[in-house]
C-alpha cells in the first residue's frame, strides 16, 4: 500500500471514529447543555441523520481498508456497528440526569442506519443502460 493510500485510509478511519466520539459526547450532554436552537428541532430527524452519516463513514472506513478482514462485507459491518452503537448510546442516557432512553430514538437510529445501507447497496449495483 502506498503512503498516500495509507494516509487516505487513516483519514477515513479518523472521520468514522471521530464522528463516533462526537455522537457519544452529544448523547451524554445533560439537557441544560443542549443549545436551544438544536433543542427546538425534532430530535428524531437528528437521530436519523446522525446514524445515516455514521453508517456511511463506517462503510468508507471498512470498504477502503487494505485488510480483507475489514473490507469484506463493509456495508453490513458498518450498519451493524451503527445499530449497536446507537442502541448503546440511547441505553446509556438512562444514567444521565434529565435524560431518558427512548425506543423512538432507537427507531430513528435504526431507520437512519438502514437507509444508509440501502443507499450503499443501491449505489453499488451495476447500472443497465
> 71 and 6 in contact (C-beta within 8 Å)?
no
Tens digit of each residue's pLDDT, the chain (129 residues): 556 666 678 899 999 999 999 999 989 988 888 877 776 778 899 999 999 999 999 999 988 766 654 565 888 999 999 999 999 999 999 999 988 899 999 999 999 999 999 998 888 655 554
Percent of the chain that is helix, strand, coil (3-state, to 5): 80, 0, 20
Whether residue 51 is contained in a domain is answered as: yes
Whether residue 65 is contained in a domain is answered as: yes
Structural domain for 98, as ranges: 3-124
Q: How far apart are CA 13 and CA 117, in angstroms?
A: 18
Rounded to two decimals, the pTM is 0.85
Whether residue 120 is contained in a domain is answered as: yes
Whether residue 129 is contained in a domain is answered as: no
> 90 and 109 in contact (C-beta within 8 Å)?
yes
Number of structural domains (the chain) is 1
Q: How far apart are CA 30 and CA 93, in angstroms?
A: 9
Q: How far apart are CA 63 and CA 36, in angstroms?
A: 38
Amino acid at each position: 500500500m502506498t503512503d498516500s493510500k495509507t494516509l487516505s485510509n487513516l483519514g477515513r478511519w479518523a472521520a468514522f471514529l471521530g464522528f463516533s466520539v462526537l455522537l457519544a459526547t452529544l448523547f451524554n450532554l445533560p439537557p441544560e447543555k443542549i443549545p436551544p436552537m438544536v433543542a427546538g428541532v425534532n430530535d428524531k430527524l437528528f437521530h436519523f441523520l446522525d446514524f445515516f452519516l455514521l453508517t456511511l463513514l463506517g462503510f468508507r472506513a471498512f470498504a477502503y481498508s487494505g485488510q480483507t478482514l475489514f473490507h469484506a462485507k463493509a456495508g453490513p459491518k458498518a450498519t451493524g456497528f451503527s445499530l449497536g452503537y446507537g442502541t448503546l448510546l440511547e441505553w446509556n442516557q438512562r444514567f444521565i440526569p434529565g435524560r431518558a432512553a427512548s425506543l423512538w430514538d432507537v427507531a430513528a437510529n435504526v431507520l437512519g442506519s438502514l437507509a444508509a445501507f440501502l443507499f450503499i447497496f443501491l449505489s453499488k449495483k451495476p447500472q443497465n443502460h
